[in-house]
Amino acid sequence: MKLLLKAVTIASAIVATPALADNWTLDSDSSHLAYGTIKKNTVGEVNGFTNLSGHVTPDGKAEIDIDLSSVETNIDIRNERMIEFVFRKVGSAKLTADFDMSEVSGLSVGETTTIDAESVLSLAGTDVTFDAELFVARLSDTAVMVSTNDMVFLNAEDAGINAGVDTLKELADLSGITRTVPITARLIFHSDGKQAAATPASATPEIVAAAVQGDAKAGKKVFRKCSACHKLDQGRNGVGPSLHAIIGKSAGQAEGFRFSSALQDIDVVWTQENLAAFLADPKGFLPGNRMQFPGLKKEDDIVNLLAYLQDAS
């Protein structure tokens, strides 16, 4: 539950520039809040919440609601006990924050920054302040990702849930449950309105260097994960569009391929940085696209794949 706090500090970061001057709405399906617990000193578990909503206004007012009944511990009876004893049948927790937008001013598509932010969690009459360092990435003209930059820890006593944790420990006949828990969060926001297309950012020095120095031979092996749907031959589409000379192309522009509306409507050039962000999290970078591949988790795989795509074309 401590992870709840994380969300608001995250949310407040997304309205940093004139280009981000619309209201921004949390995409619950693409967002993820998780916290860890340790029982009996040796058993570690990861839990989270599956239903959250929220928005950030142009003046930096953030508000996020966490549906406490959506807690997911992967054990039904434990979910029920969490709702009854820890959350005391309170329907939701609310997070609010005010954010100085100048701290993340000037972000273009593909650019990132880190910020410090403070938020407040309100749960059943208990307010808890929370500081965290956040990583903010502008994914596209209409999408922003904010995540924890470092692991964050919150205390059960501060949140007013110690008594509920005691009850859980007794019901499960456990020798102990940690009262300070680590939290991670990845929140995706997109704008409510249609914004004017921003000029896609050129690749950052790190991405450019990585693409040039990447191992194309190793990238060819990584491409095997893509080859079931994509070909590198010009004009040869499969389940997915041809990736021939993809670097530098505008998104949604493969001749003869019918793209999803998400790709048809986006004004993005596949720079090396944009491809890197997309390959890491396709749904997060472009919500609503039809590609089912979950993304590449290793940075080296992305770097090497970019080198292979560049070399093969």
The DSSP code sequence of the chain is: -THHHHHHHHHGGG--SGGG-S-EEE-GGG-EEEEEEEETTTEEEEEEES-EEEEE-TTSEEEEEEEGGGEE-S-HHHHHHIIIIISTT--EEEEEEE--GGGGTTPPTT-EEEEEEEEEEEETTEEEEEEEEEEEEEEETTEEEEEESS-EEEETTTTT-HHHHHHHHHHTT-S-B-SEEEEEEEEEEEESSPPPPPPPPPPPHHHHHHHHHS-HHHHHHHGGGTTTT---STT--SSS---TT-TTPBTT--TT----HHHHH---B--HHHHHHHHH-HHHHSTT----------HHHHHHHHHHHHHH-
**200 belongs to a structural domain:** no
Structural domain boundaries, residue 169: 3-191
In a domain? residue 197 = no
Same domain, 124 and 267: no
187: confidence class by pLDDT, cuts 50, 70, 90: confident
Residue 197 reports pLDDT greater than 80: no
> What pLDDT does 18 receive?
40
Query: Per-residue confidence at 203, pLDDT binned at 50, 70, 90?
Result: very low
Compute CA distances 221 → 77, 93, 218, 229, 304, whole Å.
44, 46, 5, 15, 9
When pLDDT is averaged across residues 4-27 and rounded to a whole number, the result is 53
Among the listed ranges 124-133, 235-244, 295-304, which one has the minimum average pLDDT value? Answer: 124-133
- Measured distance CA(274)–CA(295) in Å, rounded: 13
Nearest to residue 246, comparing CAs of 219, 283, 218? 219
What does the pLDDT average to over 171-196? 79
* 200 has a pLDDT exceeding 60: no
Give the per-residue pLDDT at 212. 45
The helix-helix angle for 299-312 and 205-213 (nearest 10°) equals 70
The domain boundary, picked from 191, 218, 237, lies at 191
In whole angstroms, give the CA distance from residue 236 to residue 230.
Answer: 9
Please indicate, yes or no, whether residues 49 and 145 belong to a single structural domain of this protein.
Answer: yes
pLDDT above 50: residue 10: no
237 and 299 within one domain: yes
State whether 18 and 146 are in the same domain.
yes
Q: Answer yes or no: is 198 within a domain.
A: no
Query: Is the full-model pTM beyond 0.75?
Result: no
Q: What is the CATH number of the domain that holds 270?
A: 1.10.760.10
The mean pLDDT value for 148-172 works out to: 87
Question: Is the pLDDT reported for residue 267 higher than 50?
Answer: yes
108 and 209 co-located in one domain: no
Answer yes or no: do 79 and 219 share one domain: no
DSSP codes joined into one string, 141-190: TTEEEEEESS-EEEETTTTT-HHHHHHHHHHTT-S-B-SEEEEEEEEEEE
Identify whether the C-beta of residue 5 lies closer than 8 Å to the C-beta of residue 128: yes
Q: How far apart are the first and last CA of the chain?
A: 48
* CATH number of the domain within which 54 lies: 2.40.128.110
Q: What is the average pLDDT across 110-139? A: 82
Residues 145 and 58 in one domain: yes
pLDDT of residue 9: 47
Tell me what percent of the residues of the chain surpass a pLDDT of 70.
Answer: 83
Examine the domain organization and report whether 215 and 177 are in the same domain. Answer: no
